A and B are shown apart, each in its own frame.
Chain A
Amino acid sequence: MQNALRKIDGCVLSSILESALRIRCNDELIRESARSGRLNIIYYSPRGQEIIPSAISELLTDDDYICTIYRGIHDQIAKGVPPKLIWAEYAGRLTGSCKGKGGPMHITYPEKGVMVTTGIVGSSLPIANGLALASQLRGDGRVTVAYFGDGASNIGAFHESLNMASVWKLPVIFVCQNNRYAEHSRFDEFTAGESVARRGDAYGMHAVAVDGNDAEATWHTARAAIDRARSGDGPTLIEANTFRFEGHLLGDDSAYIPRQEMEAAKAADPVPRLRADVIGRGILTEAQVVELERKIRREAEEAREFALTSDWPSLDELSCDVLANSSEVVQ
């Protein structure tokens, strides 16, 4: 890849690393808390996919929008949602980003552009188109990123959305985080064609596959797509290839993944690789990274403490936010 040959700024790379470390740390603490029963949730870990949104968000502003999915904590943290609001939402508390009413699969935080987190495979794309259409109509220069998995590329909404975005030249970027498994189903057994990226060709769309575990390559690819969107040249489909370390959901033993495949993926864990790279290039020292990791761990533990000691929502919340005017809610 030509772009990837150009080195990116050290500050950018260390910022991507910080985001990836924050995601990994919170993810680990959530899994630990769920396993120990402190947090009672169904959890879809993004472990292994940290680099993708970390690299992309580095290029986005708070005004840019994202729509993500139930496996989305990495996308949300990378976009700037404070972990303590995510933790409190996971714990179902009033202090959560959505007052505890959305839960792990439905994080919304417009302040940082996180507009929709959907539990329905493939649904992030049509809504992202609408956000992008709003930006196009206003001419406000915002871009919208729709995150989804490889499984979503087989639902109708994917195809409808790519076609519409291309016809209307919407400032939207479709980012398929291809982690090779749609729930328990292998990508190559259930997805026709060579790749998700090739499907973009059929819609006359700029489409590119990238190693989503490579921070620089992903950053360069995202930058080209974001420039294209901001300058009015329309959408891009990015297939960011990666791997999912923790199964579909917490408790899934990944028996359907060949052991060799899993071991190879874990051996190539992108987070320590980026960590080593940042230190190796002299961008940060080992001691600075260790200090950063300590800070992030403290933050995550405080977030958990904040969540677990926060108040539950009052029962009035049951009829609040159903309609714009609560008094219209008829029981």
Chain B
Amino acid sequence: MSGGSETSGMPAEITVGEALNLALHDALAADPNVFLLGEDIGDEQGGGILGVTRGLSTTFGKARVRATPISEQAIIGAGIGAALAGFRPVAEIMLMNFVTVAMDMLVNHAAKLRFMSGGQTGVPLVVRTMTGSGFGNGGQHSDYLEAWFAHVPGMKVVSYSNPADAYGLLLASIRDDDPTLFIENLGSYALKGPAPQRGVPTPLGKAAIVRPGDDVTIISYSTMVLRALAAADSLARQNISCEVIDLRTIAPYDLPTLVASVGRTRRAVIVHEAVRKFGVGAEIAADLAGRFHGELKAPIVRLGGNYSAVPFSKPLESAYAPGPKQIEEAVLAMIAEHSDGL
């Protein structure tokens, strides 16, 4: 880091939890129209169940870091109304499965009010939510439901795979004029990585090439990016070079970056934790297949969660979402079966 006044005192590496806390802190400090609301987010309640908002209500006051009743419709509704009046609320829905009880507010109102009002009103609301399998939380606390929101015109859907992006993308989401669903990974909060530059947002709609490569493009987002990177490491030892792309913004996603990459590698694997059927991968696969018909060395492969609820029993839960091994096998299979070699 270059050590300007904004970055002084910042360690070279921080965790995702620290990055998110820092982004919320910086957004609250920079713009009086930003405020937070959600269940248990105040310091009196512990600063969020995983401590993401810890310290913020003490610093910025309970009016701006506002603990709410367990009332998801009312939380999102309050966020929408305040956003219509010019605020930039950041609402926390503790777990992604709980957005189900606020779907009317998100799908019928937050996403559509700009269009239905002919552009007179907009809803610059961020909904932070977390999810992820692997923690024994069972079927109602672990789902990735991003495809629902990516499917609604007017919503942006954002996720991260490292602390710097967690910071920059959250800052960008708060500054964005559209309603944004910001997905946090339950297992990511302790993940360490290079610190971001304070106050600098990561642009929405731009994917990141997190590992360059020539033979196969692996497209992923959220926690699955780490599994894709692990698979790419292993494949590199077998002289197979994978390009790993982190979408970062799921909707609208960065098609030009995907097209440029797949245009070179002519092989694509899409990996997400959400159930594979009708998932985001299907949309991306169809977009790429439409552009590269007849030019691909192998059919596009989609890897995703099993067609079931997230199971509790450990061996079942471990087998639910694609792991590095499945990604590696998928790449090897597409190279072995569908091409005349690298």
Contact = CB atoms under 8 A, between A and B. Distances in A.
Contact of B104 (A157, A167, A320): A157
B45 interface: no
B156 interface: yes
Which of B83, B116, B156 has its CB near the most chain A CB atoms (within 10 A)?
A: B116
Contacts of A67: 81
A321 B80 contact: no
A161 B108 contact: no
19 contacts: A98-B118, A99-B119, A100-B118, A101-B116, A108-B121, A109-B120, A116-B113, A120-B108, A126-B74, A126-B78, A128-B81, A130-B81, A130-B83, A133-B81, A134-B85, A322-B153, A324-B176, A328-B252, A329-B252
B115 A322 contact: yes
A118 interface: yes
A156 B71 CA distance: 9
B79 interface: yes
Interface string B47-76: 000000000000000011000110111101
A124 to B, nearest CB: 9
Contact of A127 (B64, B84, B120, B124): B84
Nearest to A136: B63
Contacts of B79: 130
A96 B116 CA distance: 11
A323 B13 CA distance: 35
Nearest to A119: B108
A132 B87 CA distance: 12
B255 interface: yes
B117 interface: yes
A108 B81 contact: no
Contacts of A324: 114, 122, 124, 176-178
A164 B68 contact: yes
A115 B89 CA distance: 17
A328 to B, nearest CB: 6
A160 B120 contact: no
Interface string A297-331: 00000000000000000000000111111001110
Contacts of A99: 118-119
Given A127-B109, A157-B77, A322-B154, 7 more contacts: A67-B81, A126-B80, A130-B85, A144-B81, A164-B78, A321-B118, A325-B177
B84 A116 contact: yes
B24 interface: no
B85 A126 contact: no
Contact of A126 (B105, B178, B253): B105
A330 B64 CA distance: 35
A134 B63 CA distance: 11
Contact of B116 (A108, A109, A137): A108
Nearest to B252: A330
Contacts of A133: 78, 81-82
A330 B252 CA distance: 7
Contacts of B87: 134, 137
Interface string A100-132: 111100101110000110111001011111111
Contacts of B153: 322
A110 B83 CA distance: 13
Given A108-B113, A131-B84, A160-B73, A97 B108 contact: no
B139 interface: no
Measured as residues with beta carbon below 8 angstroms from the partner, the interface class of chain A is 35 or more
A115 B74 contact: no
Given A96-B118, A330-B252, A164 B69 contact: yes
B155 to A, nearest CB: 9
Nearest to A161: B74
B46 interface: no
Contacts of B117: 98, 101-102, 106, 108, 321
Contact of B81 (A96, A100, A132): A132
Interface string B90-102: 0000000000010
A164 B114 contact: no
B320 interface: no
A101 B115 contact: yes
Contact of B69 (A120, A167, A329): A167
A318 to B, nearest CB: 9
Leading 6 A-B pairs by shortest Cβ distance: A130-B81, A126-B77, A134-B85, A99-B118, A324-B177, A98-B118
Given A130-B80, A324-B176, A330-B252, A123 B108 contact: yes
A157 B105 CA distance: 10
A163 interface: yes
Contacts of B136: none
Nearest to B102: A126
Nearest to A317: B118
Which of A100, A120, A164 has its CB near the most chain B CB atoms (within 10 A)?
A: A164
Given A108-B120, A131-B84, A163 B69 contact: yes
Nearest to B64: A137
A133 B33 CA distance: 12
B299 interface: no
Interface string A159-176: 011011001000000000
Which of A320, A322, A323 has its CB near the most chain B CB atoms (within 10 A)?
A: A323
Given A98-B120, A130-B82, A161-B74, A123 B69 contact: no
Contact of B118 (A101, A118, A160, A161): A101
B86 interface: yes
Contacts of B263: none
B157 to A, nearest CB: 12
A141 to B, nearest CB: 13
Contacts of A126: 73-74, 76-78, 80-81, 105
B81 A131 contact: yes
Which of B63, B64, B253 has its CB near the most chain A CB atoms (within 10 A)?
A: B63
Interface in B182-236: 205
B85 A123 contact: no
A137 B114 contact: no
B144 interface: no
Which of B71, B73, B81, B105 has its CB near the most chain A CB atoms (within 10 A)?
A: B81
